[in-house]
């Protein structure tokens, strides 16, 4: 009987060479030959804690090799891995704990008191710690555990991970991704992007996100590649490691930062095979300048939490700026109207998708899941797009006003609700404005109460502990009134037009 656990797929690709490096990080190397034993001990620890197949494990920790091993161990144990952005506040994490009902939470040592209090209130059995240096109670427990040889037998439809994404009311939704969802997407990307023997991946992305955790690491694991594993994006570290790498995945900000450095040049990229951009729109100007300076055309692709990667510019063939290429193999796409009927090629509509990468639904939200799927199985992405006669797709906006800043989803209503709590604020509107580094900059437009003297500094001080940093406005404007249509609805397009270019 076959085991569809994606860990088993990764294990089958581990190289026989005991000296083959998986992660090269600031504290040393993690070898492929170590993965089985290291995750075996973590799997044994999870079982000692009572974590069973299908139990949820929430992880909010800094990037480290040990965090990757914990992810692999959760897969191996059949547990459902739930990574959380480290920028989430304690109040925000409370929602995820309550919604997911985890058996175990792993957090940073500095967050232990707050997380423990929440866990106790919400009846979570266990809380453990892990820091960016690979220390904490999780590692202490692992070191005292035996090494399990087990790999939990999973069906392809079994949920491997839950990733939270914004909803139409601002309430986060947990997208359930199965072992088959993850493995199908990884196999397609590995082939589509022509991974080669000897490829080295330069990794400076966070690992609580589809891009850094699934797209980057899964491709590397399938290829048995070395990963130069940086704790975060650092221009000096990127420049130092580019000559020793062949593949780099990044958000547009990475490429903007490189272009700002006068030392960046074609010689620095002589060993590079492929630069990939995603998680936010890549400006055509950045694409063209990068090609001029480096000699490489960035490959832009498009994906989302609910489906991993959906489209990609081709490896061989034209990579067209401001487009996200074609549907990946086995993925069906259409641009449709509000009824799900396909619109003529070239017209704007809502992108809908279907394929083995598309998620299983939203955790504990069957009604919301049903709303997002057509009767024929197509998922309504909410992204506005066009498709040309050849099938090339361009994303032109979002039907749900979602802002994507630095690759992270920001739902305006959540930010507006926080701002509207401030004394002296009458109402607010939050929009995304094109930003050269972040794709979109979170921008707040506020109407004050009469005689209110509230300032931008006071607004930012109030929001500091209310919402994650990536959700906080980068610019704030005060106006006498917000533009509205005859039905009284705020016209956000008019606001975007008014403030267009403020970040240029």
Query: What ranges in 49-89 are assigned the alpha helix state H?
Result: 65-77
User: Is 313 part of a structural domain of the chain?
Assistant: no
User: Is 109 part of a structural domain of the chain?
Assistant: yes
Out of 119, 134, 153, a domain closes at 153
Q: How many domains, the chain?
A: 2
CA–chain centroid gap for 449, Å, is 38
User: Is 314 part of a structural domain of the chain?
Assistant: no
Taking Cα atoms as reference points, which of 400, 384, 396 lies closest to residue 492? 400
pLDDT digits (tens, 9 = 90+) for 186-207: 999 999 999 999 999 999 999 9
Helix (H, G, I), strand (E, B) or coil at 324: coil
Out of 107, 134, 153, a domain closes at 153
The domain spanning residue 430 has which CATH number?
A: 3.30.300.30
pLDDT digits (tens, 9 = 90+) for 407-431: 888 878 889 889 989 999 988 999 9
Q: Looking at residue 346, what is its pLDDT?
A: 95
pLDDT digits (tens, 9 = 90+) for 349-371: 999 999 999 999 999 999 999 99
Q: Looking at residue 487, what is its pLDDT?
A: 46
User: Is 170 part of a structural domain of the chain?
Assistant: no
User: Would you list the DSSP string of 113-168?
Assistant: HHHHHHHHHTT-SEEEE--TTS-SHHHHHHHTS----------TTSEEEEEEE--T
The domain spanning residue 70 has which CATH number?
A: 3.40.50.980
Q: How far is the C-alpha of 96 from the C-alpha of 313, rounded, in Å?
A: 35
Q: Looking at residue 167, what is its pLDDT?
A: 47
Helix (H, G, I), strand (E, B) or coil at 292: helix
User: Is 414 part of a structural domain of the chain?
Assistant: yes
User: Is 445 part of a structural domain of the chain?
Assistant: yes
Q: By residue range, what is the domain housing residue 108?
A: 31-153
Out of 123, 153, 183, a domain closes at 153
Q: Looking at residue 240, what is its pLDDT?
A: 98
pLDDT digits (tens, 9 = 90+) for 311-320: 999 999 999 9
Task: Please give the model's pTM, rounded to 2 decimal places.
Answer: 0.86
Q: Residue ranges of the chain with pLDDT lower than 70?
A: 166-170, 400, 485-489
User: Is 159 part of a structural domain of the chain?
Assistant: no
Q: Are 178 and 158 in contact (CB under 8 A)?
A: yes
For 146, other C-beta atoms within 10 Å of its C-beta total 12
Taking Cα atoms as reference points, which of 440, 306, 325, 331 lies closest to residue 382? 306
User: Is 487 part of a structural domain of the chain?
Assistant: yes
- Which pair of tokens denotes residue 457? 């500094």
* Sequence-distant (≥ 6) Cβ neighbours of residue 94 within 8 angstroms: 118, 122
- The vertex-380 CA angle with 378 and 386, nearest 5°, equals 100
* Averaged pLDDT of the chain: 94
């Amino acid at each position: 009987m076959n085991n569809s656990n994606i860990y088993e797929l990764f294990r089958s690709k581990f190289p026989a060479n005991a000296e083959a490096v998986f992660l090269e990080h600031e504290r040393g190397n993690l070898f492929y030959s170590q993965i089985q034993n290291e995750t075996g001990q973590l799997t044994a620890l999870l079982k000692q804690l009572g974590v069973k197949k299908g139990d949820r494990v929430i992880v909010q920790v800094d990037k480290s090799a040990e965090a990757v091993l914990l992810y692999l161990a959760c897969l191996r144990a059949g547990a459902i891995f739930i990574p959380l952005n480290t920028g989430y506040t304690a109040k925000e994490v409370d929602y995820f704990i309550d919604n997911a009902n985890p058996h175990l939470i792993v957090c940073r040592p500095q967050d232990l008191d707050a997380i423990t209090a929440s866990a106790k209130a919400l009846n979570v059995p266990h809380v453990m710690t892990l820091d960016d240096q690979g220390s904490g109670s999780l590692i202490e427990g692992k070191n005292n555990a035996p090494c399990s040889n087990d790999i939990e037998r999973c069906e392809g439809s079994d949920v491997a991970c839950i990733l939270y994404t914004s909803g139409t009311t601002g309430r986060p939704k947990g997208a359930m991704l199965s072992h088959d969802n993850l493995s199908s997407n990884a196999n397609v990307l590995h082939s589509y992007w022509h991974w080669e023997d000897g490829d080295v991946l330069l990794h400076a992305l966070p690992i609580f996100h589809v891009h850094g955790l699934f797209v980057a690491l899964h491709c590397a694991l399938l290829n048995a590649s070395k990963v130069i594993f940086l704790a975060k994006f650092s221009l000096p570290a990127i420049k130092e490691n580019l000559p020793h790498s062949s593949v780099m995945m990044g958000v547009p900000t990475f490429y903007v930062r490189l272009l700002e450095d006068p030392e960046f040049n074609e010689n620095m990229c002589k060993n590079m095979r492929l630069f990939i951009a995603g998680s936010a729109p890549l400006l055509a100007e950045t694409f063209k300048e990068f090609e001029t300076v480096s000699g490489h055309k960035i490959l832009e692709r498009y994906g989302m939490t609910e489906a991993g990667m959906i489209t990609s510019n081709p490896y061989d063939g034209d990579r067209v700026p401001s487009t996200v290429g074609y549907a990946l193999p086995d993925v069906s796409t259409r641009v449709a109207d509000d009824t799900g009927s396909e619109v003529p090629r070239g017209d704007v509509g809502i992108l809908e998708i279907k394929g083995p990468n598309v998620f299983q639904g939203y955790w504990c939200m069957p009604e919301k899941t049903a709303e997002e799927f057509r009767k024929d199985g197509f998922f309504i992405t909410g992204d506005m797009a066009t498709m040309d006669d050849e099938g090339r797709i361009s994303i032109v906006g979002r039907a749900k006003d979602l802002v994507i800043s630095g690759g992270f989803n920001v739902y305006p209503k959540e930010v507006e609700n926080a701002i509207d709590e401030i004394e002296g604020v009458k109402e607010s509107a939050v929009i995304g404005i094109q930003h050269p580094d972040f794709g979109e900059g979170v921008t707040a437009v506020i109407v004050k109460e009469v005689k209110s003297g509230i300032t931008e500094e006071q607004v930012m001080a109030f929001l500091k502990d209310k919402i994650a940093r990536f959700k906080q406005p980068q610019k704030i404007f005060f106006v006498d009134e917000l533009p509205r249509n005859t039905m009284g609805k705020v016209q956000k397009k008019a606001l975007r037009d008014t403030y267009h270019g403020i970040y240029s």
